[in-house]
Amino acid sequence: MCQWVVFGFGSYLSDIFDNIHSNKGKIKMIVRNIEPTRKQQEDLARRIRLLGYEVPIMNLEAFRPKKSERYCCGFVTGRDKVVRGLKESYGIQFSSLIHRTAYLAANASHGEGVSIGAHSVIGPNCRIGDFSVINRASSVGHDTVLGEFSTVSPGVAIAGKVRIGQNSFIGIGAAIVDGVSIGENSIVGAGSVVLDNVGDGVVVVGSPARVLRRNEPALAP
């Protein structure tokens, strides 16, 4: 049984737990990089209680990697900085975590530390960049490229030949038509329909999607 070390404890944590258990793995520990609030502590305790077994929580300062472990992130926002810091400090390699019900076409490819949720579909010739997240029941069409650290929320429909830049976020239930490019560090709002290219560093919403504002950098949870 694979033993997983999960870094962080954001809202994505339960999905990570599900991906791990679907592959008959077990959570060995959670490593926290910040001091949680009382509300976060209570939420984390609840999520662990529902697992049915004990999971220790360790401060990052006490973490020491072991060869038998696999590593993944339990949060989405700001994971690029955390992951790069961990790799630089500890020289660890992150494993990709793909739910057993997800479908990847035979010639689709993905990088390091990718997470793909239950019932998602990755079409032919897709390239999924390092540390990208594709959440539950999303569809990624043929010849689409996701940049590193990009995030696709549940229920997203991405057509063919789409380009999504690094660190971009696609909100729940959004739809992106064929051949569209989404720039780096941009956000597509929940339920939006993207018919035209989206530039770097903007937030777009609506149907059809229009620029709402610039995207300000977010802090890690």
Q: Which residues are catalytic?
A: 142
Spatial separation of the C-alpha atoms in residues 148 and 165, rounded to whole Å: 8
Contacts of 219 (CB under 8 A, 6+ apart): 77, 78
Spatial CB neighbours of 154, under 8 Å, sequence gap ≥ 6: 117, 135, 136, 137, 138, 172, 173
Closest residue by Cα to residue 77 from 163, 164, 12, 24: 12
CB atoms within 10 A of CB 39: 8
